[in-house]
Amino acid sequence: MPPFHFRVGFGYDVHQLQAGLPFWLGGITVPHTHGALGHSDADVLIHVICDALLGAANLRDIGFHFPDTDPQYKGIDSKKLLAGVLRLLRERGYEVGNVDSTICLERPKVNPHIPAMQQTLAEVMGLDADLISIKATTTEKLGFVGRQEGVAAYATVLVYKTA
């Protein structure tokens, strides 16, 4: 085995948008008339990062570790789920190399909020904000994202074994 053992993980998630809910994205609330619907706070960006990290370490997915059938996770702050995922990875000797993510959303515009998301995620993950890439795009008014019925996100992560 080489001195460093690298692994890559991928995450994908979608959430329906509903009027009157807070819109959590990347660990912060983004001002909008609609928020994501889910069992937790429905932070789609954190959920895809969790899934990508768990996948990289072959630890299944977020629903396996934090099932939406468990009342203790009802309304939970997804930053707590991310902290739990990082604990699982670090217990197995993994550390995060970097995160690359994309949010698909017609409105609101996400770009002005990206630095705050990066800083918030960096604090939770114990990483430099420069290691967390967040991009945003629309779907050019196509599909459920284009009709503003939902939000989607993707993430790829690199992890490496330290022990």
* Total of domains in the chain: 1
Is 149 marked within a binding site?
no
Is 38 marked within a binding site?
no
Find the helix or strand (DSSP H, E) in which 14 lies.
Answer: strand 5-19
The yes-or-no verdict on residue 3 having pLDDT over 80 is no
State the number of CA atoms in the 13 A half-sphere of 85 facing the CB.
31
Say if residues 128 and 122 touch (Cβ distance below 8 Å): yes
Is 41 marked within a binding site?
no
Is 51 marked within a binding site?
no
The C-alpha atoms of residue 23 and residue 127 are separated, in whole angstroms, by 24
Q: Is the pTM of this model over 0.75?
A: yes
Q: Which of 74, 90, 83 is nearest to 39 (CA)?
A: 74
Structural domain of residue 138, as residue ranges? 5-161
Is 101 marked within a binding site?
no
How are strands ordered across the β-sheet holding 94-104? 34-36, 5-19, 150-161, 94-104, 132-137
Is 4 marked within a binding site?
no
141: domain CATH number is 3.30.1330.50
Tell me: the pLDDT tens digits for 15-74?
A: 999 999 999 999 999 999 999 999 999 999 999 999 999 999 999 999 899 988 888 889
Is 70 marked within a binding site?
yes
- Tokens standing for 137? 């795009």
Residue 76 is which amino acid?
Answer: I
